[in-house]
Structure 1
Amino acid sequence: MNIITKLAIAASLATALTSASFAADKLVVGFSQIGSESGWRAAETSVTKQQAADRGIDLKFADAQQKQENQIKAIRGFIAQGVNAILVAPVVATGWDDVLKEAKEANIPVILLDRGVDAPEDLYLTSVASDQVKEGTVAGNWLVSAVGDAPCKVVEIEGTVGSTPAINRKKGFDEAVLAHANITIIRSQTGEFTRAKGKEVMEGFLKAENGGADICAVYAHNDDMAVGAIQAIKDAGLKPGTDIKVVSIDGVPDIFSAMVAGEANASVELTPNMAGPAFDALAAYLKDGTVPPKFIVTESKLYTPADNPQGEYDARKGLGY
């Protein structure tokens, strides 16, 4: 889409905007959310709804229940309704070309939240997400520092197969730790980003590895799976955080609660506020055709028990987790 076309679209939508923000009851945005598989996902939904309300946006919400076919159906529904823009947190990376082309043909900009897609970049306006490879690298570097030169066998609980966080968080972590000969990843299996599945997978790892005696650390692609793993470790009669180190990603309240209890060692924060930067980019685009960067990167920060976990827990409880 060239700049003349973008300006034409902006002009047709000018009545939906004020000079500084969206006008109430005018701008309609569809939001296709993956589901509610984790505390972080629930927080993202809550924050997105609040960000929309603060800007006077009519947000049409659709919960895909972790199924891509439901997301595609919802997006087509948004297109049929003639929404002004679409936000989508894609459950997997592939299979989006056709529906994104349909949105483009309808002149409806699409913004990706917290996950990417394997599709031509001209089919979406921008992607607001963390650097997921970096998240894995930060987690891996923490473990490298924590174990020093001691031998360490690691089990890895991966996210949803085919999702960009699972792919990238694995890539960053694996590259960081496997550069050190004393650290070995001995088992890796998907926990589907859910607490229950994370517990189930960890139970299997413990049984397979001498009741857990041979496991030095568990790395989970999100905190909810880590919390499930912590319960499995406790059920096995071991002390999470001590007998088996626990490192994960997201920064949800329950992982800070686990840190307070001495049962978790590190978490890399993933902010749930993807919608704020997305709506800012959309406002500028619809107002005067300003094209945002293709990838808007949010901050990732490592937290450990030294970083006031009780205070972090208290601060996050009000965000919808």
Structure 2
Amino acid sequence: MKFRKSAALLAAAFTVAGLTACGSDSDAPSGDSASSSTGIKGAVIGFAQVGSESGWRSANTDSIKAAAAKYGVDLKFTSAEGDQTKQIASIKTFITQGVDVIAFSPVVETGYDAVLQEAKAAGIPVILTDRAVDADPSLYKTFIGSDFIKEGEKAATWAKTEFANDAAVNMVVLEGTTGSAPANDRKTGWDNVLGKETKFKTLASQTGEFTRDGGKKVMEGFLAKYPNINLVYAHNDDMGLGAIEAIEAAGKVPGKDIKIVTIDAVKAGMEALAAGKINYIVECSPLLGDQLFDAASSVLAGKDIPARIITEEGEFNQAQAKAALPDRKY
């Protein structure tokens, strides 16, 4: 029998057992989801990944695949490699296949209304992971991921403190993929803190597409045009790591001559932080697999779930990075 057709029976079983559900209009932190996996075994779940642009994304994919195996889920996995058209085609294929749940990490924020309407018409619930969309919230069950605005605010707060005694700060920004939620929100968060701080002068801001190679190439251009850069704000670690290569090739010392603040806290970034080449990292955890299948289990059981499930994350200076690295999972 099709797994989705048994959802009502599962819901009844949960009700009889007296289990309670979270309200759909509240936020919820991450936690141990193993206890909520009852009933999801054998479900067919389609996951349309944004791509493989960074170490963070690779860790995110590994987390989803490992959790699918742990929960006994039949995972249909595709990667758009940064192409929204390709990702939408994958989602349409999942709809045609009649999967039980569709999950995806959007390439950009806009342009998904039509395909989300198709999923809703087919009776297939949708879960967003890592990145949100600008669409009617009734078209998806929940968004699981980080508060990107808060991440930008944390990075800017560090910069404000770090340069508190400087009269002027010349900075450049390595932006994420244009139009994507993390790029948009990490800029907003930064501006929330430093937008009115006139001493922070943005010399240039350009996308590096969240890749190390992109960060290196953009930083090379910045260095050629602006000889007095004091600070780099990179929307992810990979672009920051690329910037380090460009800075060193230019004969400067990353972390000293030019300070760097990034977001993600993947292992390679943490190693650069421990070595003093990056000055500060705000964490954005890619380990969303358990949360995804926990949410899918609840949805298939007919339970209400929070409209937004926020992951709990930290911040790291050099000493904290050294302490965390031995047990780092990604």
Structure-1 separation of matches of 2:221 and 2:240? 14
Deviations 1:179-208 (CA, angstroms, capped at 9, x unpaired) = 323222221001000000100000111111
Of all paired residues, the percent bearing the same amino acid is: 46
CA RMSD of aligned residues (A): 2.1
Structure-2 separation of matches of 1:25 and 1:8? 14
Deviations 1:212-233 (CA, angstroms, capped at 9, x unpaired) = xx11100000000000001100
Checking the alignment, whether the CA contact within 8 Å between 1:23 and 1:56 is kept in structure 2 is no
2:306 to 293, 300, 306: 293
Tell me what 1:315 maps to: 327
Tell me what 1:258 maps to: 272
Matched letter for residue 204 of structure 1: G
**Deviation of 1:22 (Å):** 4.4
* Corresponding position: 1:185 with 2:202: yes
2:231 to 190, 210, 217: 217
Checking the alignment, whether the CA contact within 8 Å between 1:178 and 1:184 is kept in structure 2 is no
Secondary structure in 1 matching 2:318:
coil
Alignment of 1:38-57 (within 5 A): 38-57=54-73
Checking the alignment, whether the CA contact within 8 Å between 1:111 and 1:124 is kept in structure 2 is yes
Alignment of 1:1-321 (within 5 A): 10-11=7-8, 21-23=37-39, 26-150=42-166, 151-210=168-227, 214-287=228-301, 289-307=302-320, 309-316=321-328, 318-319=329-330
Checking the alignment, whether the CA contact within 8 Å between 1:48 and 1:276 is kept in structure 2 is yes
TM-score by structure 2 length?
0.88
**Deviation of 1:13 (Å):** 6.5
Checking the alignment, whether the CA contact within 8 Å between 1:23 and 1:57 is kept in structure 2 is no
For structure 2, the 5+ residue unaligned runs are 18-35
**Deviation of 1:27 (Å):** 0.5
**Deviation of 1:10 (Å):** 2.0
**Deviation of 1:306 (Å):** 2.0
Structure-1 separation of matches of 2:267 and 2:38? 32
**Deviation of 1:93 (Å):** 0.6
Tell me what 1:4 maps to: none
Checking the alignment, whether the CA contact within 8 Å between 1:198 and 1:225 is kept in structure 2 is yes
**Deviation of 1:12 (Å):** 6.0
Structure-1 separation of matches of 2:182 and 2:37? 32
TM-score by structure 1 length?
0.90
Secondary structure in 1 matching 2:294:
helix
Secondary structure in 1 matching 2:51:
coil
For structure 1, the 5+ residue unaligned runs are 1-6
